[in-house]
Chain A
């Protein structure tokens, strides 16, 4: 009886647990909020707290910096290229792996997560050593190839989860109605997968935009935005601009992530799965 009543109005957590849980959230957000706050700092060089005053001046200063803009542009281009590759490869893999059983399937599954399960430094230096052997000097494409390799898993995970929830009877019905494989894919499977593709693509994009460790090995003189930031930490001269750029980077990744979350939420009720 007691437990029935509790289930109805939702159990209440003990106070200590609530304190720990919200405390954890504060811990996770406090440093990020502080970076946001420091972007408005009037002082030019200090990290000192409390701040002396707030200003918008540095946003303008950052927007006028050629090197910052170039880094943003490179990061965006790399992210777009690697997302495109990841979308194609991830979808193919999901299509191959979601239902069938075959020899080597487990190994393939592992191979897809390996680039993010192994530390980035391994992927980075391995790619560098291979590029050296092949006599390829670091450029835009070496960065993009590296990024695409670990972005595939984002698309794969999203699409495979969606496909598994999609009832196979939909595809069978389509075939019974006379559609061939391509038509079924285009009119039945693709619409069902669309939001998961978009979400996977967004996650891949965000992952690439932010990647640093693999990039330090595969980029030559090219500077992506994270590399630009890392350089700044080595010689802290433009502290205010660095703070502003840090805030930008947060926003450029946070907003798409929220969109991706909206897209994949509540996909348990994919059309037709309520059979």
Chain B
């Protein structure tokens, strides 16, 4: 009998030790044991390092900070949480939430057309081009992106130069004089801060929406057209509802990232702390870890609620 043609399989290894085969067999027969072995290292890491840290943070939020000695003792107190309700702290939370909501809405409005074009119209090389063109800024260094805007927005910088060339300086000054939006210049205004936030998180919104739209079968839209829907109608009643989980998925990023950021508020915009800045200052300059900890519970709770709602809206399948 002729030898069989050698197949494109890896050459069989030299006979292996009985032990390794025995182990393999035991693992094969005892699925749970195998699973446990796989899971032990990651469970230890996430359980001890990550959850352990979160827990220690939570515990410390009930510790007592002595204003006089500037020291922390492990006496149980609700004082830190009660302090969150102070008007000043309250303002910080609302200011941060307002910005996070505004940035999320703006990202969705700006991001949707890009995502829609990517998913529905870009074909061939354009598809790859758009994908890379959105992905690269997303991965581009966060601090460099924030830095670039401090350069762009400064007086004498390119944005002012452009605005001047377009004879829009007085319009800009008018916008900057609106209370709540403006400030003495773009780089010290809420508008500037909002611009930077929206810019930095926008790709995190585009990609999930694009993925969601891509999953909507094209023949659904054709069916809508065949049944007499105008393009705007089928967009509104077919595509948008089906793509919405993508928007929610994107909003998880834009919302959560804005809520916790403290670098951009420090670099651009008017004075007035964000949650992140408060946490950083409390911990770093004052050494009041308990108060910092209780402040971090605010975004944890908000995002927890947000994630629960997002899950209901199907955002997790769109991630």
CB within 8 Å of B: which residues of A? 3, 7, 10-13, 17-18, 20-21, 24-25, 27-29, 31-32, 34-35, 38, 46-50, 85, 88-89, 92-93, 95-96, 100, 102, 108, 111-115, 117-123, 125-130, 132-133, 145, 148-149, 152, 175, 177, 180-183, 187, 206, 210, 212-213, 216-217, 226, 229-230, 233, 242, 246, 249-250, 253-254, 257-258, 261, 265
* Chain A residues near B248 (CB-CB < 8 A): none
Chain B min CB distance to A110 (Å): 8
Contact B199 A122 (CB under 8 A): no
Query: Using a CB-CB cutoff of 8 Å, which residues 186-243 of chain B contact chain A?
Result: 199, 202-203, 206, 218, 222, 225-226
Contact B16 A226 (CB under 8 A): no
Contact B28 A133 (CB under 8 A): no
Chain A min CB distance to B297 (Å): 9
Chain B min CB distance to A13 (Å): 4
Contact B202 A125 (CB under 8 A): no
A-B contacts counted at CB < 8 A amount to 257
Q: Which of B46, B113, B144, B280 has the most CB of A within 10 A?
A: B144
Query: Using a CB-CB cutoff of 8 Å, which residues 104-124 of chain B contact chain A?
Result: 110-111, 113-114, 116-118, 120-124
User: Which of A180, A253, A261 is within 8 Å of B25, CB to CB?
Assistant: A180
CB within 8 Å of A: which residues of B? 9-10, 13, 16, 20-21, 23-25, 27-28, 31, 35, 38-39, 41-43, 45-46, 49-54, 56-57, 60, 110-111, 113-114, 116-118, 120-124, 128, 130-137, 139-145, 147-152, 154, 156-158, 161, 199, 202-203, 206, 218, 222, 225-226, 252, 256-257, 259-263, 267, 275-276, 279-280, 283, 289, 292-293, 296, 299-300, 303, 307, 319
Contact A187 B42 (CB under 8 A): no
User: Which of B25, B28, B113, B139 is within 8 Å of A21, CB to CB?
Assistant: B113
In the bound complex, CA of A114 to CA of B49 (Å): 13
Contact B158 A49 (CB under 8 A): yes
Contact B256 A96 (CB under 8 A): no
Q: Which of A85, A113, A127 has the most CB of B within 10 A?
A: A127
Contact A126 B57 (CB under 8 A): yes
* Chain B residues near A118 (CB-CB < 8 A): 256, 260, 299-300, 303
In the bound complex, CA of A165 to CA of B32 (Å): 23
User: Which of B38, B57, B114 is within 8 Å of A129, CB to CB?
Assistant: B57
Would you mind naming 27 contact pairs between A and B with Cβ atoms under 8 Å apart?
A10-B124, A13-B121, A20-B113, A28-B199, A31-B149, A32-B144, A34-B151, A34-B158, A38-B151, A100-B31, A118-B260, A118-B300, A119-B276, A119-B299, A122-B296, A129-B60, A129-B289, A145-B49, A177-B9, A180-B20, A181-B28, A183-B13, A183-B24, A229-B141, A230-B143, A250-B144, A258-B132
Shortest 4 CB-CB contacts between residues of A and residues of B: A119-B260, A21-B117, A180-B24, A20-B113
Contact B148 A257 (CB under 8 A): no
* Chain B residues near A121 (CB-CB < 8 A): 260-262, 275-276, 279-280, 296, 299
* Chain A residues near B283 (CB-CB < 8 A): 125, 128, 217
Nearest chain B residue, comparing its CB with the CB of A4: B222
In the bound complex, CA of A210 to CA of B267 (Å): 18
User: Which of B49, B113, B140, B267 is within 8 Å of A254, CB to CB?
Assistant: B140
Chain B min CB distance to A265 (Å): 8
User: Which of A27, A126, A133, A212 is within 8 Å of B110, CB to CB?
Assistant: A27
Nearest chain A residue, comparing its CB with the CB of B100: A119
Contact B141 A226 (CB under 8 A): yes
In the bound complex, CA of A13 to CA of B307 (Å): 34
In the bound complex, CA of A184 to CA of B202 (Å): 43
In the bound complex, CA of A27 to CA of B134 (Å): 11
* Chain A residues near B136 (CB-CB < 8 A): 254, 257-258
Chain A min CB distance to B15 (Å): 11
In the bound complex, CA of A116 to CA of B54 (Å): 14
Nearest chain A residue, comparing its CB with the CB of B52: A130
Chain B min CB distance to A50 (Å): 7
Contact B117 A18 (CB under 8 A): yes
User: Which of A108, A213, A253 is within 8 Å of B260, CB to CB?
Assistant: A213
* Chain B residues near A177 (CB-CB < 8 A): 9
Given contacts A27-B199, A31-B199, A49-B161, contact A212 B24 (CB under 8 A): no
Chain A min CB distance to B46 (Å): 5
Given contacts A27-B199, A152-B42, contact A120 B147 (CB under 8 A): no
In the bound complex, CA of A47 to CA of B161 (Å): 11
Chain A min CB distance to B131 (Å): 8
In the bound complex, CA of A181 to CA of B21 (Å): 8
Contact B280 A24 (CB under 8 A): no
* Chain A residues near B16 (CB-CB < 8 A): 180, 182-183
Nearest chain B residue, comparing its CB with the CB of A217: B283
In the bound complex, CA of A187 to CA of B292 (Å): 51
* Chain A residues near B218 (CB-CB < 8 A): 7
In the bound complex, CA of A265 to CA of B125 (Å): 13
Nearest chain B residue, comparing its CB with the CB of A226: B143
Contact B307 A117 (CB under 8 A): yes
Contact A254 B143 (CB under 8 A): no
Given contacts A130-B52, A257-B139, contact A25 B114 (CB under 8 A): yes
Contact B262 A117 (CB under 8 A): no
Chain A min CB distance to B260 (Å): 2
